[in-house]
Structure 1
Amino acid sequence: MNDDEDGYFGEHVAATYDDDSGHEFQPEVVAATADFLAGLAGEGRALELAVGTGRIALPLAGRGVPVHGIDMSRAMVRRLRAKPGSDAIGVTIGDFATTRVDGTFSVVYLVFNTIMNLTTQEAQVQCFRNAAAHLEPGGCFVVETVLPDLRKLPGGQDVVPFHVSPTRWAFDHYEVATQAMSSNYIEVADGRGAYRSIPFRYVWPAELDLMAQLAGLRLRERWDGWTREPFTNDSGGHVSVWEKPVD
C-alpha cells in the first residue's frame, strides 16, 4: 500500500512507528548508535538521511552534536516535531538520495536498513554520491543494514517468514536474479484482514564498497553492530563506515 505523498511511510505507518518493540528501538541499542555516531562527528555536524521520527537524531543531538535531517515523509517528521528537543534539529523535506542542504558535515548516516528503500542500483549509487557531496574532507558516511537471508531459502522457494502469530504474519519475498525483495505483513483485527507490502533492493557489502568508490569514498571500518563486534561470516548485518579522503 502506497497511498499518499509520503510514500510507504505515510500516516498509516507514522502513527504507530514509535510503538515498535524491535531490537533497533531498545534503549541500549539507541544509545550505542548515538555514541558511535557522536564519536565520528567530534566537534562537527551530522546529517541523517531519512531522519524519520528522530529515533537517532534526538539522542545524538542530546550528546551535543548539531543534527540536520532529510526525509520525504511529512507524517514521520510531524512525529519528530512533537517531541521535546526537536527544535534543535533542522529538517529538509525531500528524497534523501538526491536532496542537497547547505554546508558540509563531519558525518552523514543512514540507519535501520534504509539504503534498501532505494529500490534501484542507480538510486543507491546516487545516495552515496549525495552523501559524499555533503561530507567535509576526512568526514564519514555510515550505513547500517541487514544482509539478505538467502541461506534460509530452501531450494526452489523464495519466501522467508519472520513473524507468525494468531493475528499477524510477516514474510520477506526474494527475487534473487534482480536483488529485489519485499517485506509483507498480514494482520487480522476484529475479524478483518489487512495486507501491506514494502519493496526493497538488498545489497551486499562488496557492492556498497564499489558504490563508495564511485562516490570518491574509501572503506574505513566494518562491524557487526554499533558496539563494534567483529563482522564475520555469521553476521546478519553490518555497520560500515566510508571516509572522504583529505587529499
Structure 2
Amino acid sequence: MRENFFDVGVAEHYDDPDDEMFSPEVLGPTVDLLAELADGQAALELAIGTGRVALPLSERGVPVQGIELSQAMVDQLRAKPGAERIEVAVGDMTSTRVEGRFGLVFLVFNTIGNVTSQDDQVAVFENAAAHLERGGRFLIEVGVPHVGERFVVFDHTDGHVGVDEHDAATQLSWSHHYSSTDGEIYRRRSIPFRKVWPTELDLMARIAGMELESRWADWDRSPFTDASAKHVSVWRRR
C-alpha cells in the first residue's frame, strides 16, 4: 500500500472554510457537472478525503461511495452531517474494490498526482474502469505539468511558506511546507506528486478500455487551450 501523507496532523486541519476550494463558487459548478455526468446512477469517488465534494453531491440525490487511503481523513468525514449516507472503503485506489457498478467514478483536485509512478497511475484507471457500468464515465481534475523554474513559491504568510519543487526529467514534484513558530522556522512536511500530461492520461485510459469524451479547462466547461493551468477530463468505458 502507498505511503499515507494525510495522517491525523494533516486531516485535522485539512478543511479550511477560507480556502477557495471550499467556496460555493467552486463547489457549485463541480457538483452540477458531476450530478449531470452520473445521469441518475451511483457515483464512486476515489480519494474521497473529508467529503468536500461527496457530501454536497450526495445532498443532490446522487448515491455516493468512496475509497480513501487515510483513516484519519475518513474520521473527519464521519464527523460531518450527512456522512451516514456515504459508504467508504479504506484502502489504496490503485487496487481497492467496492461492491456494485457505477455510472461515474471521479478523482478531483490533482489527487492522481499523489500516485507517484506511471504503473500505479495506470492501475488507478484500470480500477476505475472495473467499477464502471458499460458506457460509464471516469472524471479527473488535475493541473497541467509545470514547465520552467525548479522551485516555485505557492504560499507565503507569516506562519507558512509553501514551495513546489519540480523535476522535469522524472515528472516528479514535491510540495514543501515550512512553518514558523516564535521566529523558529522548521519544515512541517514534504508531499511527493507525479505530474502527468493530458495525452499520457488519454493513453492510460485506452489501456483501461476507455476513450476521451470531453476535456475542459475548468468545471464551468470553458475550453481547454495551451494556456490552461488545469483540465477536467472525462473518459467513457467502451
Equivalent position to 1:189, from 173, 181, 189: 181
Q: Which residue of structure 2 aligns with residue 224 of structure 1?
A: 217
Q: Which residue of structure 2 aligns with residue 79 of structure 1?
A: 76
1:41 corresponds to 2:38? yes
1:192 positional shift:
3.1
* Residues 1-247 of structure 1: pairs in structure 2 closer than 5 A: 7-19=4-16, 21-151=18-148, 153=149, 158-195=150-187, 196-245=189-238
1:6 positional shift:
7.4
Q: CA-to-partner distance for each residue in 1:176-216, whole Å, 9 max, x for gaps?
A: 11111101111102333331100000000000000000000
Q: CA-to-partner distance for each residue in 1:143-197, whole Å, 9 max, x for gaps?
A: 000112214x2xxxx1111122333211111111111110111110233333110
Please list every run of at least 4 consecutive aligned residues from structure 1 whose deviation after the TM superposition is greater than 4 angstroms: none
Taking structure 1 as the reference length, the TM-score comes to 0.92
RMSD: 1.3
Q: Given the superposition, is the C-alpha separation of residues 144 and 31 from structure 1 closer, same or farther in structure 2, using an over 3 Å criterion?
A: same
Which amino acid in the other structure matches residue 129 of structure 1? E
Question: 2: CA distance between counterparts of 1:87 and 1:166?
Answer: 39
Question: 1: CA distance between counterparts of 2:38 and 2:227?
Answer: 29
1:9 positional shift:
0.4
Q: Percent identity?
A: 51
SS of 1:9's equivalent in the other structure is coil
Question: Is there any run of 5+ residues in structure 2 with no aligned partner, and where?
Answer: none
Equivalent residues of 1:49, 1:70 under 8 A apart: yes
Which amino acid in the other structure matches residue 114 of structure 2? N
Q: Given the superposition, is the C-alpha separation of residues 127 and 55 from structure 1 closer, same or farther in structure 2, using an over 3 Å criterion?
A: same
SS of 1:98's equivalent in the other structure is coil
Q: CA-to-partner distance for each residue in 1:82-135, whole Å, 9 max, x for gaps?
A: 100000000000001110111110000000000000000011000000000000
Question: 1: CA distance between counterparts of 2:142 and 2:54?
Answer: 17
Which amino acid in the other structure matches residue 180 of structure 1? L
Question: 2: CA distance between counterparts of 1:162 and 1:149?
Answer: 13
1:21 positional shift:
3.0
Equivalent residues of 2:17, 2:23 under 8 A apart: no
Taking structure 2 as the reference length, the TM-score comes to 0.96
Question: 2: CA distance between counterparts of 1:44 and 1:96?
Answer: 21
Question: 1: CA distance between counterparts of 2:17 and 2:165?
Answer: 22
